[in-house]
Chains A and B, each alone.
Chain A
Amino acid sequence: MAHSFQFLDDIALADLAFEAEGDSVEELFCSATGALLETLADPATVAATWERRMEKVSEDPADLLFDWLSDVVYWKDAAGVVFHDAELSVRQEGSTWRLEAVLRGASVDQTMQTLRSDVKGITKHLYDVRQEGSRWYARVVVDV
């Protein structure tokens, strides 16, 4: 699935921002995750030797996306890794949203990987997840 996102020029002067979109909540999550992974390092230069399976639930897809992206940042520091890809499944179960994810990557290696910005966290500044017609959008500002 192609990730659909763009980095925004004028939203965050000292930091980085992106807008992600998709035809479903799951596609939106995939696009936003793709943007975050690209911010950290070029995924094409990162192997998939490290893997972590995760599950999260929330009543609000915006909270679920925020917590998921924050978890990606957490594992970057806690495991000292950058990421190759993430396989995501997001579905609604009654009043809650469930995310099942497999995050893949490799230990940081400055000689092999094209490293970019060390994202310190996901912020609530101008954070927005919305549905317009059948399309889902998220605007995310990350602190670097």
Chain B
Amino acid sequence: MTLNTEMRVNRITDEVWEIPATEKSGMVVPARIYATQGILQSMDRGVFDQVTNVACMPGITRYALCMPDGHWGYGFPIGGVAAFDLETGVISPGGVGYDVNCGMRLIRTDLTLEDVQPKLERLMTELFRRVPAGVGAAGFVRLNRDAFDAVMTRGACWCIEQGYGWHRDLAHIEEGGCIGGTDPSTVSEHAVGRGINQLGTLGSGNHYLEVQVVSNDRVFDPETAAVLGLTGQDQIVVMVHCGSRGFGHQVASDYLKTFEKAMRRYGITVKDQQLACAPFRSPEGQDYFAAMNCAANTAFANRQVITHQIRGAFAQVFDRSAEELGMELVYDVAHNIAKLERNPEGYLLVHRKGATRAFGPGSPDVPRDFQKIGQPVICGGSMETGSYVLVGTDRAVHETFGSTMHGAGRTMSRAQAKKSIRGEQLQQDMKRRGILVKAVSMSGLAEEAGFAYKNISEVVETVDRTGITKKVAELRPIGNIKG
């Protein structure tokens, strides 16, 4: 087996591979990669280098993990998971990602493909008008500093109080859409300046809003799907992928700088500057945790305001209220975050960077509606292929700190993708295949071509076979909005 590393990689099972702690100087724990042999062979060198760099960090417990959608990232690989002891461990923006609480949200409807197809062009135009995307786009919500502080501390709850959504939405958001332990005084004015006008905006890059179809033959577990409100029968759903925008990025950048200096003071060395960190219990670590939680709440609020706009667009196009259209929130889940979570070892600080929480049935952190099926996991594929809904399992809690994959994972750089196809050509090709795309930037569209990503189905099969999540349904795109 040829891999993009010289390190020894041992097979644990057909889908779990381990790099022993002896393979790199400074490793505290082994590194484990979840992948089929084929996916493992396609993983870039950065995955092996970075997951073993993470395994060298102070206070890491059990394993440094990488999910099957893993690829090179900043500090941690994308798909990276690591849990740290609260007393001896660290917190690192490189384990959270720049886009704090980048995440996925899925909204169901009672509409079918037959209902939507004749009005798809009008629907996508209305969604494109109501949900700003792309460079420098500002949202419709005008905030003063006090209101932005409220968004930082109350997240999606603030949105509901302002009328941007339904109270019951909160029960279907990770952490109820509002993470505690925030402190706006730990956030720089630069971060506020970047974020205050961006509530309700998609951004660009791999962020999107997608109208999708759930067909009968792609529902793998009808009983679980029914609990989630997914009926199949060409049902229409809407998926949103975005995060805390420039605000979260500025928080991460600010604290990377703070931590570079703090590490010298605490005598911490890391293998990569992008893994800059501070002891979790230190003043710097606690400040970052509070600021990161502010950014996480801003991301929940961002997706909530976008949901409000989506409901408005559907109501206008179909001339019925969003309630009448059955536009309930299925779930909203973060995939870039660090959280204090109960584990067999006790409370740990779990970093997920391009990885999704996947708690099993009966977990107290799973909403009451989903206690019997486990926490919903929403995984976005490329805009040309499809996305998946899965549910968490007890096995994930025991093996992966309750974590699983988050998406397809790239295999080709943005620069290469742009050289391979023009955005206009891709847009026409997709239209012929029944996917209507509205994009602010044609070069940005080309960067997101399906061939630049792994086959999400193979990634999903990996986590399904290992049992760290179980697949429920595949969602096929018919309309996409990109920045």
Contacts and interface: CB of A to CB of B under 8 A. Distances in A.
A and B together in one complex = yes
Interface string B7-48: 000000000000000000000000000000000000010100
Given A117-B135, A118-B204, A77 B46 contact: no
Interface residues of B, number: 48
B431 to A, nearest CB: 20
A77 B136 contact: yes
Nearest to A73: B246
B256 A144 contact: no
Nearest to B411: A13
Contact of B135 (A12, A82, A143): A82
A118 B483 contact: yes
Contact of A82 (B74, B136, B245, B246): B136
Interface string A119-135: 01111110100000000
A86 B198 CA distance: 25
B74 A41 contact: no
A108 B441 contact: no
Given A14-B72, A14-B73, A120-B98, A74 B413 contact: no
Interface in A30-82: 40-41, 70, 73-74, 76-78, 80-82
Contacts of B414: 12, 14-16, 117, 144
A136 interface: no
Residue of B72, B203, B246 with most partner-chain A CB within 10 A: B246
Interface stretch (A2-10, A20-28, A93-101): A2-10
A77 B413 contact: no
Contacts of B71: 13-14
A76 B193 CA distance: 10
Contacts of B253: 70, 121-122
Nearest to B194: A77
A127 B260 CA distance: 15
A81 B7 CA distance: 47
B274 A123 contact: yes
Interface in B349-396: none
| A16, A17, A80, A115, most chain B CB atoms within 10 A | A115
A13 B413 contact: yes
Interface in B177-217: 190, 193-195, 197-198, 203-206
A61 to B, nearest CB: 17
The size class of the interface chain A forms with chain B is: 35 or more
A133 B359 CA distance: 57
A117 B249 contact: no
Contacts of A81: 136
B256 to A, nearest CB: 7
B413 A118 contact: no
B443 A12 contact: no
Contacts of B197: 77, 80
B96 interface: no
A40 B135 contact: yes
A13 B246 CA distance: 20
B137 interface: yes
Contacts of B468: none
A31 B44 CA distance: 30
A115 to B, nearest CB: 5
A13 B410 contact: yes
Contacts of A80: 136-138, 197
Given A13-B413, A15-B414, A74-B193, A118 B74 contact: no
B135 A108 contact: yes
B136 A125 contact: no
Given A115-B440, A117-B441, A121-B249, A9 B194 contact: no
Nearest to A123: B74
Contacts of B317: none
Contacts of A11: 413
B136 A13 contact: no
B440 A125 contact: no
A125 B246 contact: no
A89 B274 CA distance: 30
B135 A41 contact: yes
24 contacts: A9-B413, A9-B416, A10-B413, A13-B46, A14-B73, A14-B205, A70-B253, A77-B245, A78-B190, A78-B193, A80-B136, A107-B136, A110-B134, A116-B441, A117-B135, A117-B205, A117-B443, A117-B447, A118-B137, A118-B204, A120-B246, A120-B249, A121-B246, A124-B273
Interface of B: 44, 46, 71-74, 78, 98-99, 134-138, 190, 193-195, 197-198, 203-206, 245-246, 249-250, 252-253, 256, 272-274, 410-416, 419, 440-441, 443-444, 447, 483
